[in-house]
Structure 1
Amino acid sequence: MPEITGYHAHVYFDAHSQTVAQQLCEKAGRLFPVEVGRMHAKNVGPHPRWSCQLAFAPDAFDQVIPWLMLNRQGLTIFTHPETGQHLEDHRDRAIWMGEMLALDLTIFDRTGT
């Protein structure tokens, strides 16, 4: 069984919701031990919308996820574990808040990396 070494929460936004997403990500970074990534105003990796990544350790899950659930302000948030099995982490082990979107999983090779 793989070990979860961390989590990524990807906050999706568009041109109209970018400010709300940025404020949400910055606040999460102030409140929790979260590494706030760049605001990508383009699709990056498997993500079908613009996004900002929040990275955090397993011991922060019980603080970060409930807070995002209650404060996402209508934004879609895609969260997945980090086990080193990237395909499975994105396809089979994800948590969606809001609209479930199709990811571009073709970027992961058959080994899941």
Structure 2
Amino acid sequence: MDLAAQCFNPDSIGGYHAHVYYQNSEQRALAAEIRESIAARFDVELGRWRDQPVGPHPLPMYQVAFDKTLLPELLPWLMSVRGPLSILVHCTTGQNDLLDHTAGAIWLGPQLELNTAIFADPA
């Protein structure tokens, strides 16, 4: 993939998703604490618990959808509370899910390998 194919217009970012991953019951308990705190502190939309990998996500997780205006406040807060968890934060452009989950993504904690093949064009 050439550089131009990995770029997008930042003005197309409508919001963000954070995916909070966990690997075991101890991590799930921490993820639950973070979820409760997010709901109490921020105006976000919490997705349901996914206790099995789904879509491109290699581990159980839940999603947090939020407006782009919250990024400067929510991102450092997530950094400070994530502990051993991996959190994927990616933009939502509505144009290209592959770019949103790769070029438009940042990782907090260890980076996981996403199953990006699901974003391939069915040819």
Letter aligned with residue 55 of structure 1: A
In 2, Cα distance between the equivalents of 1:79 and 1:53? 10
In 2, Cα distance between the equivalents of 1:79 and 1:33? 16
In 2, Cα distance between the equivalents of 1:42 and 1:28? 22
Structure 1 contact 6–83 (Cα < 8 Å) conserved: yes
Number of residue pairs matched by the alignment: 111
Question: What residue is the counterpart of 1:92 in the other structure?
Answer: 103
Q: Which runs of 4+ in 1 moved over 6 A?
A: none
Aligned-pair CA distance for 1:106: 1.0
In 2, Cα distance between the equivalents of 1:54 and 1:26? 12
Aligned-pair CA distance for 1:22: 1.2
**Identical counterparts, % of pairs:** 40
Greater helix share, 1 or 2?
2
What secondary structure is seen at the aligned counterpart in 2 of 1:38? coil
Aligned-pair CA distance for 1:26: 1.7
Structure 1 contact 22–39 (Cα < 8 Å) conserved: no
Question: What residue is the counterpart of 1:105 in the other structure?
Answer: 116
CA RMSD, aligned part only?
Answer: 1.4
Greater strand share, 1 or 2?
1
Question: What residue is the counterpart of 1:47 in the other structure?
Answer: 57
In 2, Cα distance between the equivalents of 1:79 and 1:51? 13
